[in-house]
Structure 1
Amino acid sequence: MSLNPPFTKESAKAKVKKAQDLWNTQDPKKISGAYTPASIWRNRDMFFTGTAAIEEFLTKKWEREKNYRLRKELFAFTDNKIAVQFWYEYQDAHDGMKWKRCYGLEDWVRYAKEYRAVLRQMSGNDAEIRNSERWFKGNVDVNTVLIGEKYW
């Protein structure tokens, strides 16, 4: 199965899980390699372009976000676009190491010729949580945690 456009439901899901695993490495250089050198990013209220800027952003992100654990799920897709719902937990090094969870959505545009994303847009909201409210404790497989099911 090709993880490149045009996407099928199976290849889009696999691409999302591959991205999840890549982000959980917290390696800015590896992650930036999944984007074109001229890739455009919007992360909340920040806008920047290029892999050097991506690496710089992610380095600063993980200076603040300690013990980061992420889960991504496919939300929707078309031939060359994927929308992702995600949740991640971290301890905020700039806020007394309080636990926080980010809830958000992101979308990616990929070109078949490049095999890498040319656009990433992310919207997310952080909520402070107690240690007892954490989903991704210890060595839990983030893919096995029930998220949202208790609400419907």
Structure 2
Amino acid sequence: MTNYREKLWPAPWLFLSTALVIPASLLVFLPINIFVGIAAAIVLYSGCLTLLLLSATRIQVTETELVAGRARLPLAIIGDVEGFAGSDATLERGQRLDARAFLVIRGWIDPVIRIELLDANDPVPYWLVSTRNPKDVISAIRRAHAQPK
């Protein structure tokens, strides 16, 4: 059973900014042929949209694990979980970041959660994960911890 699910879709400004490939491809291909220029613009922008949509990362909390992208973390080894937003999130992604941390961060999403690991054999001290709803992810992890196994 899933306690929480989120898809980290790219921000709207990314879709808009990739539209700049349209005039760029027209500028390059229109001198060759008008139909080639229009076809190239359509194909290149469609490719950009496809890549943006495929890059959306999944965050999921189940009864037994946290899934962040392709990575899976058993809830049994999760310690303290904290959420950060604004300047605190910027510090967590920058000055306070441990080089050994596992990162699933997206530049277009400001809030992050820091998930401490209890496994002494794991060289990774914590995970830092982008999420638009840090409170919801934290409460889902805590609910899953509280459920009897």
Q: Same fold (TM over 0.5)?
A: no
Normalized per residue, which structure has more strand? 1
Q: Which bin holds the TM-score, normalised by the shorter protein?
A: under 0.3
TM-score computed with the length of structure 1 as normaliser: 0.26
Question: Larger Rg: 1 or 2?
Answer: 2
